[in-house]
Chain A
Amino acid sequence: MAAIQVVRSEWTKIRSVASTVWTLSLAVVVTVALGMLISALSKNEFDNMSAKDRLSFDPTFISFAGMTLGQLAMIVFGVLVVSNEYSTGMIRTSLAAVPQRGAFLFSKIAVATGLALAVGMVTSFVAFFLGQAMLGPHRTSIGDPHVLRAVIGGGIYMTLIAVFSMGVAAMLRSPMLSLGILMPFFFLISNILGNVSATKKVGRYLPDQAGSKIMQVVPRIDDDTPYGPWGGLGIMALWVVAALAGGYVLLKRRDA
């Protein structure tokens, strides 16, 4: 079985269902619009800020504020790409056509990852430029140190969130169960763990907390995070690899 055949097949699958279009467009629109809104609000707030807050004012990171919500659409995209197969019963047809389960799963994930990366990069750049436009005098420029890294990192961050969701969905199969775990986890639990001082040390090793470090340009004052931007992204990547490995092992062993 030539892998290219399976990749082509998965591309046909992903482009021929409506959920791909609406989840990804929602990710773009929500991330950009919310980023613009918060950037505009921050511009007006700036004059009322304390000196300490002004020192750690990070215009790049502020323009990515929409990602807290936009990433949820990426999670839905990642979950549906994989769990659609199970909820529709298509999985039996798919595995009868491609009995090499590793080839099936990783072709699917490769195609979905490529698409998520393209959309994530566009989202990140658009969110950055429109967010900076909203920030007016407090804006930064793509040419400033570390800014380009943060913007590219933002695209990678969104992609990894989607891929992590694919791995989780491959393990859990059910779209409802996967979304029921991932959405509250990334929207609430991770934030709570990351902001309560008792759990902060653990919370910062969670995939989204670690990964979002890549989008920061100006470090927070008294920031004692033991890893840098790329280190954080690496931690997130380890989570993704673990989720994919889990999904692969279970798919390999389970009856379809």
Chain B
Amino acid sequence: MIELEGLTKRYGEKVAVDNLTFTVRPGIVTGFLGPNGAGKSTTMRMMLGLDRPTAGDVRIDGKHYDRLKDPLTYIGALLDAKAMHGGRSAYNHLLCLAQSNGIPKSRVAEVLDTVGLTAVAKKKAKGFSLGMGQRLGIAGALLGDPRILMFDEPVNGLDPEGIHWIRNLMKSLAGQGRTVFVSSHLMSEMALTADHLVVIGQGRLLADTSMADFIERNSRSYVRVRTPQRERLLDVLHQAGVTVVESGGALEVDGGKAEYIGELAAQHQIVLHELSPQQASLEEAFMQLTAESVEYHAHTDTPVEQPRPWGEGWNRS
């Protein structure tokens, strides 16, 4: 269990983390979501006692991080895959961490095996690919067999196989009753792994909710219909008591079933050009939630050119 209370970090005038209060509970994967620069990494560094909060408090199982005896046995963290000396072998990197926390030597070989790096244990870390570096970082987090695990953007730069592996690892760790806290800026990734969601933007808490609630509240499903007999279909749908929203050239039927609409159209002999169930993505919901607080907006100065209908301008030249 990790408890944050009014956690705040200021760098001069700039507020990186603004009065965060939330709890990370055991037995589930908690996703920590926010756009780049939202303060996720700063928050995680404060949890580990690396950065000093300007105000507020973080407690790990009720204690401050620097009061933990052999902290790696309480909480294992992957902050940055590059946070290691490249000239040291994977084995020695883990060995020095193990020794500092009184973890038996045999555990080093075990975690190397867990992350699949046994074959390169004696190789220097600087020759490692990003994925291997990430695995070595995770091995370091698992070293003390901690009850709490914390990963900062663990899937960044990984290949699909590596991403799959990390997802399953996090789920199995939570399944063993551990607290798993993982940050990401990708909603789609969180939707696959997290049970609970903490969303921040510009250092402020925007949401602290279960994943199921978030999906239910934010995902809108509808059916998109295109027809040349627009007025007739609208009449038919109105008579059937179905609400329709017009959007561009198409009709959007909220919460409707595609089968039902298709059958209705067939009964009235209405031609359909498109009938497709749609799901507003969680990514969109997340972007809406954080839109106000995105720090670096990309500006599109040139308006996007609309594709011209086919055949237009055939007689111009």
- By a beta-carbon cutoff of 8 Å, the part of chain A in contact with chain B is 1-2, 5-6, 8-10, 12-13, 16-19, 84-85, 88-100, 255-256
Contacts and interface: CB of A to CB of B under 8 A. Distances in A.
Among B69, B85, B86, B87, the most chain A Cβ lie within 10 Å of the Cβ of B85
Interface string B45-88: 10011111000000000000110111110000101101111111
Interface stretch (B17-25, B98-106, B220-228, B290-298): B98-106
B35 interface: no
Given A12-B92, A16-B92, A84-B85, 7 more contacts: A8-B99, A8-B100, A13-B96, A16-B96, A91-B83, A93-B83, A95-B48
Nearest to B80: A89
Given A9-B96, A84-B85, A255 B45 contact: yes
B79 A92 contact: yes
Contact of B66 (A8, A10, A19, A100): A100
Nearest to B125: A88
A97 B100 contact: yes
Nearest to B100: A9
Given A9-B96, A12-B95, A88 B101 contact: no
Nearest to A100: B66
A96 B71 contact: yes
Interface string B97-125: 10111100000000000000000000000
A237 to B, nearest CB: 29
Contacts of B79: 92-93, 96
B100 to A, nearest CB: 4
B77 A96 contact: yes
B156 interface: no
Contacts of A16: 88-89, 92, 95-96
Contact of B86 (A88, A92, A255): A88
A93 B96 CA distance: 11
A99 B100 CA distance: 11
Interface string B121-154: 0000000000000000000100000000000000
A10 B95 CA distance: 10
A19 B45 contact: no
Nearest to B64: A99
Contacts of B83: 88-93
A17 to B, nearest CB: 5
A13 B95 CA distance: 9
B84 A97 contact: no
Contacts of A96: 48-50, 71-72, 77, 79
A201 to B, nearest CB: 43
B185 to A, nearest CB: 20
Q: Is the interface of B mostly helix, strand, loop or mixed?
A: loop
A93 B84 contact: yes
B92 A2 contact: no
Contact of A92 (B50, B88, B95, B101): B50
A84 B125 CA distance: 14
A60 to B, nearest CB: 38
Contact of B70 (A1, A10, A88, A95): A1
B50 A90 contact: no
A17 B77 contact: no
A99 B89 contact: no
B52 A98 contact: no
Nearest first, the 4 A-B pairs at minimum CB distance are A9-B100, A16-B92, A99-B66, A9-B99
Contacts of B68: 99
A6 B85 contact: no
B133 to A, nearest CB: 11
Contact of B102 (A5, A94, A99): A5
Among B51, B71, B79, B80, the most chain A Cβ lie within 10 Å of the Cβ of B71
B87 A19 contact: yes
Contacts of A93: 79, 83-84, 97, 140
A18 to B, nearest CB: 6
Given A1-B70, A88-B86, A99-B71, A255 B51 contact: yes
A92 B80 CA distance: 9
Contacts of A13: 85, 88, 92, 96
Contacts of B101: 5, 97
Contacts of B65: 99
Contacts of A100: 66
Nearest to A96: B48
A1 B97 contact: no
Contact of A97 (B72, B80, B86): B72
A9 to B, nearest CB: 4
Contacts of A95: 48-50
A91 B52 CA distance: 15
Contacts of B87: 17-19
A256 B85 CA distance: 16
9 contacts: A5-B99, A8-B99, A9-B99, A10-B96, A16-B95, A19-B87, A88-B86, A97-B72, A100-B66
Contacts of A6: 100
